[in-house]
């Protein structure tokens, strides 16, 4: 499907932002409106850097705004978010091809989609593939670095995770099923997911931005573990 065929009225992004902000109002601040806004801004910047045209950039913005709608971590339903995103876009006058593309992006953007099996985004090519990649990279960039550290512990606190238990070792090479079970400690989440994201970036601009954020996490973990041992 061609992103350039996706034409919607000029106010759809602002309507979408207002809708998403209300929908996510009950979420903890690891997955709140401000996360969405950061991902939106980063995704659009990456889209420009990767040479996407104005039409594709508009699609990127909508997909970024909707990427955590009815997130399975909160709703318990993997299909709810993609279906709700598509339905909202169609209801608000978006072209059917745009709605279908955004549905595919929302269904594919999460980390778990790469932990075995196929992803709906595997069928995308050309500009549509790049649209998916910049949204996914932007979401992953918000999971690492200083903001990512804050989000990790915010989510952990909201879900009663222990900060750190040296007796509980990270699970390396997680399957999708293991990942969905969650993690008993916030610190292990760095080793099981966050430190792997730099090498999972899809776009050159995303990889470039990930380097400094990844190093910031490494320095944080080095300091954290040294403090736990009474070394610093």
Q: How confident is the model over 75-133, as pLDDT tens digits?
A: 767 889 999 999 999 999 999 999 999 999 999 999 888 887 789 999 999 999 999 99
Query: Per-residue pLDDT for the chain (232 aa), expressed as one digit of tens each?
Result: 444 334 445 689 999 999 999 999 999 999 999 999 999 999 999 999 999 999 999 999 999 999 999 987 877 678 899 999 999 999 999 999 999 999 999 999 998 888 877 899 999 999 999 999 999 999 999 999 999 999 999 999 999 999 999 999 998 887 777 777 777 899 999 999 999 999 999 999 999 999 999 999 999 999 999 999 999 8
Q: Which domain holds residue 46?
A: 3-228
Would you give the distance in Å from CA 222 to the centre of its chain?
A: 25
- Structural domains of the chain, count: 1
What residues form DSSP beta bridges with 96? none
Residue 124 confidence (pLDDT): 96
Residue 123 confidence (pLDDT): 94
Q: Whose CA is closest to 137, among 86, 73, 206? A: 206
Q: Whose CA is closest to 95, among 105, 86, 108, 83? A: 86
Residue 10 confidence (pLDDT): 61
| Count of Cβ atoms closer than 10 Å to residue 94 Cβ | 23
Output the six-digit token pair for 10.
């000029």
**CA–CA gap between residue 41 and residue 37 (Å, rounded):** 6
DSSP 109: -
CA angle 64, 67, 70 (to 5 degrees): 150
Kindly report the backbone phi and psi dihedral angles of residue 185, in degrees, each rounded to the nearest multiple of 5, phi listed first: -130, 145
Give the CATH number for residue 223. Answer: 1.10.3210.50
Residue 4 confidence (pLDDT): 38
Residue 185, helix vs strand vs coil:
strand
Question: Residues with Cβ < 8 Å from 201, sequence gap 6 or more?
Answer: 137, 140, 207, 210
């Amino acid at each position: 499907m061609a992103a350039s065929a996706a034409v919607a009225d000029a106010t759809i992004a602002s309507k979408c932002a207002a809708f998403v902000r209300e929908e996510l109002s009950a979420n903890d601040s690891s997955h709140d409106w401000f996360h969405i806004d950061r991902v939106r801004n980063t995704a659009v910047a990456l889209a420009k850097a990767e040479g996407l045209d104005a039409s594709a950039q508009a699609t990127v913005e909508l997909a970024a705004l909707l990427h955590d709608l009815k997130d399975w971590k909160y709703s318990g339903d993997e299909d709810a978010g993609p279906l709700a995103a598509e339905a909202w876009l169609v209801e608000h006058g978006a072209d059917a091809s745009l709605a279908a593309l955004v549905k595919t992006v929302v269904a594919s953007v999460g980390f778990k989609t790469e932990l075995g099996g196929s992803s709906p985004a595997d069928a995308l090519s050309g500009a549509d593939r790049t649209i998916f990649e910049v949204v996914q990279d932007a979401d992953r960039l918000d999971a690492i670095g200083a903001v990512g550290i804050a989000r990790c512990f915010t989510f952990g606190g909201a879900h009663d995770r222990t900060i750190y238990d040296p007796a509980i070792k990270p699970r390396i090479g997680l399957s999708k099923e293991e990942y969905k079970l969650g993690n008993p400690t916030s610190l292990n989440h760095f080793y099981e997911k966050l430190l792997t994201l730099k090498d999972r970036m899809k776009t050159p601009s995303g990889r470039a931005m990930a380097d400094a954020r990844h190093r910031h996490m490494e320095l944080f973990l080095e300091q954290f573990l040294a403090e736990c041992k009474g070394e610093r």
